[in-house]
């Protein structure tokens, strides 16, 4: 009985580690490998994991005649890129498998990792606006574009945070953020001489570009996880379309109205 309870706890520990990684945006290969290592370290001889961006399936068995087979299915819904969590769970699985850490201690550690806060919102806003401003210059803008993109980038990033707190679908999210960027960029470009709205919009657009989805889909293909690779590639493509559509709709409407000058 005690043994069965332990088996269940190990299973829950492994699935939580996998869930945190998958939500933080890790590749399939890494998630499956981590889960397998944790289970093997606890003496489960038979482990089978099947992970996808939307769910994790695990089966463990100790391999003896009298043992039961346990299966756990975890549905994963939201995901937000957080490389620090990936890195910490990675370290955790390394220490868990090499030292004699107990399952309870492991659970506490995972709790701590999951509760970790992001960088403060002011720092993130500042960095997002710096990124948008730098990209607008890299794409050929001038000093005025830099300043305007800096301001618009922070506004758009704040707006995108609000939308993701509200749990908005990723297509609408990209569309609204980019529409907002385009709107402000057009206002700025018509009222301030020397500003190019194209560079500013493209700079702010870079904040929402699906870099993580592209990277992960390639790495999933590389390790042979075709379904996840295709899924993430579709996500990357749709996100790019949503960004272009958002900016496009606003520019078109602006043209039809004939522009507003302040």
Partner 1 sequence: MMNLLLQFVLALFATLGFSVIFRVPVKKIPACILIGALGWVTYEIAVFYMQSPVFGCFAGACIVGMLSSICARFLKEASTVFIVPGILCLVPGYKIYSTMEALLLHNYGNTASIGIETLMMAGAIAIGLLVMGVAVGLVRMAFRKIRSF
24/56 with CB nearer partner 1: 24
Q: What is the chain's length? A: 262
80/105 with CB nearer partner 1: 80
Identify which of 96, 253, 87, 118 has the alpha carbon closest to the alpha carbon of residue 186. Answer: 253
Q: Could you give the angle at the alpha carbon of 152 between the alpha carbons of 125 and 135, nearest 5°?
A: 80
Nearest-approach distance from CB 57 to partner 1, in angstroms: 22
Nearest-approach distance from CB 104 to partner 1, in angstroms: 26
18/60 with CB nearer partner 1: 18
| CB contact set of 94 (below 8 Å; sequence gap of 6+) | none
**C-alpha distance across the termini of the chain, in Å:** 75
Nearest-approach distance from CB 6 to partner 1, in angstroms: 29
**Distance from C-alpha of 176 to C-alpha of 185, rounded to nearest angstrom:** 14
147/214 with CB nearer partner 1: 214
Nearest-approach distance from CB 119 to partner 1, in angstroms: 6
User: How many other β-carbons are positioned within 10 Å of the β-carbon of residue 193?
Assistant: 7
Q: In this structure, what token pair is assigned to residue 119? A: 């960088």
42/201 with CB nearer partner 1: 201
C-alpha of 46 from chain center: 31
181/187 with CB nearer partner 1: 181
4/118 with CB nearer partner 1: 118
Interface positions with partner 1 (CB under 8 A): 25-27, 30, 81-88, 90, 118-119, 123-124, 127-132, 134-135, 137-139, 157, 198-199, 201-203, 205-207, 209-212, 214-219, 221-222, 236, 240, 243-245, 247-248, 251-252, 255
| CB contact set of 188 (below 8 Å; sequence gap of 6+) | 148, 152, 195, 197, 200
Identify which of 207, 216, 173, 206 has the alpha carbon closest to the alpha carbon of residue 25. Answer: 216
Nearest-approach distance from CB 212 to partner 1, in angstroms: 5
User: How many other β-carbons are positioned within 10 Å of the β-carbon of residue 224?
Assistant: 10
Nearest-approach distance from CB 72 to partner 1, in angstroms: 24
Nearest-approach distance from CB 99 to partner 1, in angstroms: 16
| Contact (Cβ atoms closer than 8 angstroms) between residue 229 and residue 260 | no
């Amino acid at each position: 009985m005690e043994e069965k309870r332990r088996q269940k706890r190990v299973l829950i520990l492994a699935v939580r580690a996998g869930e945190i990684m998958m939500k933080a945006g890790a590749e399939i290969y890494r998630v499956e490998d981590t889960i397998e290592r944790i289970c093997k370290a606890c003496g489960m001889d038979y482990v089978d994991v099947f992970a996808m961006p939307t769910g994790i399936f695990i089966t463990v068995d100790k391999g003896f005649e009298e043992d039961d087979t346990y299966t756990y299915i975890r549905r994963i819904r939201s995901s937000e890129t957080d490389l620090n969590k990936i890195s910490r769970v990675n370290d955790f699985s390394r220490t868990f498998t090499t030292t004699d850490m107990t399952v309870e201690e492991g659970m506490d550690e995972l709790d701590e990792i999951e509760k970790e806060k992001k960088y403060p919102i002011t720092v993130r806003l500042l960095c997002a606006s710096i990124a948008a401003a730098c990209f607008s210059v890299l794409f050929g803008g001038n000093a005025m574009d830099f300043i305007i993109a800096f301001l618009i980038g922070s506004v758009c990033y704040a707006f995108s945070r609000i939308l993701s707190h509200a749990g908005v679908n990723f297509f609408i999210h990209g569309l609204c953020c980019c529409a907002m960027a385009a709107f402000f960029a057009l206002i700025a470009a018509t009222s301030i001489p020397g500003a190019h709205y194209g560079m500013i919009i493209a700079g702010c657009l870079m904040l929402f570009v699906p870099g993580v989805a592209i990277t992960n889909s390639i790495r999933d293909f590389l390790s042979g996880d075709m379904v996840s690779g295709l899924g993430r590639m579709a996500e990357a493509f749709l996100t790019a379309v949503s960004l272009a559509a958002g900016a496009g709709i606003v520019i078109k409407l602006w043209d039809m109205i004939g522009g507003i000058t302040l």
